[in-house]
Amino acid sequence: MSGPSGPATGSSASCPFCDIVAGRRPARIIVDGTLVVAFRDIAPVAPTHVLLVPRAHVPDASALGPEHADLLAEMAVVARKVAEADGVASSGYRLVFNVGPDSGNSVGHLHLHLVGGRPMAWPPG
Ligand code: AMP
Protein backbone atom coordinates (compact mmCIF):
# COMPACT_ATOMS: atom_id res chain seq x y z
CA MET A 1 0.00 0.00 0.00
CA SER A 2 1.31 3.43 -0.87
CA GLY A 3 0.76 5.69 2.10
CA PRO A 4 2.32 8.99 3.02
CA SER A 5 5.05 9.01 5.60
CA GLY A 6 3.92 11.66 8.06
CA PRO A 7 1.73 11.34 11.13
CA ALA A 8 -2.04 11.61 10.82
CA THR A 9 -2.79 14.00 13.63
CA GLY A 10 -6.38 14.66 14.62
CA SER A 11 -7.67 11.74 12.56
CA SER A 12 -11.32 10.77 12.67
CA ALA A 13 -12.64 7.21 12.92
CA SER A 14 -14.22 5.86 9.71
CA CYS A 15 -13.05 8.77 7.59
CA PRO A 16 -11.78 7.60 4.19
CA PHE A 17 -9.38 10.50 3.77
CA CYS A 18 -7.96 10.05 7.29
CA ASP A 19 -7.38 6.44 6.20
CA ILE A 20 -5.51 7.60 3.09
CA VAL A 21 -3.40 10.06 5.11
CA ALA A 22 -2.56 7.28 7.58
CA GLY A 23 -1.71 4.80 4.81
CA ARG A 24 -4.59 2.47 5.71
CA ARG A 25 -6.32 2.95 2.36
CA PRO A 26 -4.56 2.93 -1.03
CA ALA A 27 -4.42 6.10 -3.05
CA ARG A 28 -2.38 7.57 -5.88
CA ILE A 29 -0.53 10.05 -3.69
CA ILE A 30 1.43 12.69 -5.56
CA VAL A 31 2.38 15.13 -2.78
CA ASP A 32 3.22 14.14 0.78
CA GLY A 33 3.51 17.55 2.41
CA THR A 34 3.94 18.84 5.93
CA LEU A 35 0.28 19.68 6.52
CA VAL A 36 -1.25 18.60 3.19
CA VAL A 37 -1.48 15.34 1.25
CA ALA A 38 -2.50 15.36 -2.42
CA PHE A 39 -3.79 12.33 -4.29
CA ARG A 40 -5.64 11.61 -7.52
CA ASP A 41 -9.43 11.45 -7.33
CA ILE A 42 -10.72 7.89 -7.63
CA ALA A 43 -13.41 9.04 -10.10
CA PRO A 44 -11.80 11.87 -12.07
CA VAL A 45 -14.05 14.35 -13.87
CA ALA A 46 -11.21 15.73 -16.00
CA PRO A 47 -7.72 14.67 -17.15
CA THR A 48 -6.34 16.28 -13.99
CA HIS A 49 -8.43 15.75 -10.87
CA VAL A 50 -6.45 15.89 -7.65
CA LEU A 51 -7.68 16.22 -4.07
CA LEU A 52 -5.64 18.22 -1.56
CA VAL A 53 -6.47 17.27 2.02
CA PRO A 54 -5.16 18.28 5.43
CA ARG A 55 -3.39 15.57 7.41
CA ALA A 56 -5.50 16.56 10.40
CA HIS A 57 -9.23 15.97 10.18
CA VAL A 58 -11.15 19.14 9.34
CA PRO A 59 -14.82 18.52 8.40
CA ASP A 60 -15.15 21.09 5.62
CA ALA A 61 -14.29 24.65 4.63
CA SER A 62 -16.90 26.10 6.99
CA ALA A 63 -14.77 24.84 9.89
CA LEU A 64 -11.71 26.83 8.79
CA GLY A 65 -10.47 29.72 10.89
CA PRO A 66 -7.39 31.83 11.54
CA GLU A 67 -5.71 28.80 13.13
CA HIS A 68 -5.66 27.18 9.68
CA ALA A 69 -3.64 29.93 8.00
CA ASP A 70 -0.56 27.73 7.57
CA LEU A 71 -2.68 24.88 6.21
CA LEU A 72 -4.36 27.12 3.64
CA ALA A 73 -1.06 28.61 2.57
CA GLU A 74 0.41 25.14 2.04
CA MET A 75 -2.71 24.12 0.08
CA ALA A 76 -2.26 27.10 -2.24
CA VAL A 77 1.39 26.29 -2.86
CA VAL A 78 0.76 22.57 -3.36
CA ALA A 79 -2.09 23.37 -5.77
CA ARG A 80 0.19 25.54 -7.89
CA LYS A 81 2.91 22.88 -7.92
CA VAL A 82 0.45 20.11 -8.86
CA ALA A 83 -0.94 22.27 -11.67
CA GLU A 84 2.57 22.90 -12.97
CA ALA A 85 3.57 19.23 -12.69
CA ASP A 86 0.41 18.08 -14.51
CA GLY A 87 0.91 20.65 -17.26
CA VAL A 88 -2.30 22.60 -16.64
CA ALA A 89 -0.83 25.75 -15.10
CA SER A 90 -1.00 27.66 -18.39
CA SER A 91 -4.21 26.17 -19.79
CA GLY A 92 -6.02 26.82 -16.50
CA TYR A 93 -7.70 24.85 -13.78
CA ARG A 94 -10.38 25.10 -11.12
CA LEU A 95 -9.99 24.91 -7.34
CA VAL A 96 -13.17 23.93 -5.46
CA PHE A 97 -14.21 23.39 -1.86
CA ASN A 98 -17.66 21.80 -1.74
CA VAL A 99 -19.61 22.62 1.44
CA GLY A 100 -22.98 21.15 2.34
CA PRO A 101 -25.68 19.19 0.50
CA ASP A 102 -26.39 21.62 -2.35
CA SER A 103 -22.72 21.52 -3.37
CA GLY A 104 -22.75 17.73 -3.62
CA ASN A 105 -20.20 17.33 -0.83
CA SER A 106 -19.91 13.62 -0.13
CA VAL A 107 -16.78 13.15 2.02
CA GLY A 108 -16.63 14.82 5.44
CA HIS A 109 -12.90 15.59 5.43
CA LEU A 110 -11.86 18.92 3.95
CA HIS A 111 -10.59 18.52 0.40
CA LEU A 112 -9.70 21.02 -2.27
CA HIS A 113 -10.49 19.74 -5.76
CA LEU A 114 -7.95 20.69 -8.43
CA VAL A 115 -9.59 20.04 -11.80
CA GLY A 116 -8.04 20.81 -15.17
CA GLY A 117 -7.01 19.54 -18.55
CA ARG A 118 -10.22 20.47 -20.38
CA PRO A 119 -12.39 23.58 -20.81
CA MET A 120 -15.03 23.98 -18.09
CA ALA A 121 -18.34 25.79 -18.10
CA TRP A 122 -19.40 28.52 -15.68
CA PRO A 123 -21.66 28.53 -13.76
CA PRO A 124 -21.14 24.91 -12.70
CA GLY A 125 -24.07 22.53 -12.96
P1 AMP B 1 -17.00 15.96 -2.71
O2 AMP B 1 -18.21 15.70 -3.54
O3 AMP B 1 -16.52 17.39 -2.80
O4 AMP B 1 -17.17 15.50 -1.28
O5 AMP B 1 -15.83 15.12 -3.37
C6 AMP B 1 -15.40 13.90 -2.89
C7 AMP B 1 -14.46 13.34 -3.92
O8 AMP B 1 -13.72 12.30 -3.32
C9 AMP B 1 -15.14 12.75 -5.15
O10 AMP B 1 -14.66 13.39 -6.32
C11 AMP B 1 -14.76 11.28 -5.09
O12 AMP B 1 -14.56 10.72 -6.37
C13 AMP B 1 -13.49 11.32 -4.29
N14 AMP B 1 -13.15 10.11 -3.55
C15 AMP B 1 -13.95 9.41 -2.70
N16 AMP B 1 -13.28 8.38 -2.16
C17 AMP B 1 -12.02 8.43 -2.69
C18 AMP B 1 -10.85 7.65 -2.51
N19 AMP B 1 -10.83 6.57 -1.69
N20 AMP B 1 -9.74 7.99 -3.18
C21 AMP B 1 -9.74 9.07 -4.01
N22 AMP B 1 -10.81 9.85 -4.19
C23 AMP B 1 -11.94 9.54 -3.55
pLDDT over 50 (residue 122): yes
Question: Residue 7: inside a domain, yes or no?
Answer: no
Q: Is the CB of 123 under 6 A from ligand 1?
A: no
pLDDT given for residue 10 in this prediction? 64
How confident is the model over 103-119, as pLDDT tens digits?
Answer: 999 999 999 999 999 99
97 Cα: distance to centroid of ligand 1 (angstroms): 12
- Residue 13's pLDDT is 75
Number of domains in the chain: 1
The pLDDT score that the predictor gives to residue 85 is: 98
Q: Is 70 exposed, middle or buried (0-12, 13-18, 19+ CB in 10 A)?
A: exposed
Cβ of 30 less than 6 Å from ligand 1: no
CA of 42 to the centre of ligand 1 (A): 6
Predicted pLDDT at 12: 75
Query: The domain containing residue 70 runs over which residues?
Result: 16-116
Q: What is the pLDDT of residues 4-60, one digit of tens each?
A: 554 444 677 799 999 999 999 999 999 999 999 999 999 999 999 999 999 999 999
How much is the CA Rg of the chain, to the nearest whole Å? 14
Residue whose CA lies nearest to ligand 1 atom number 2: 105
Question: pTM higher than 0.75 for the full model?
Answer: yes
Residue 62 lies in a domain: yes
* 98 in contact with ligand 1, CB cutoff 6 A: yes
Supply the CATH number for residue 107's domain.
3.30.428.10
The answer as to whether 4 is a domain residue is no
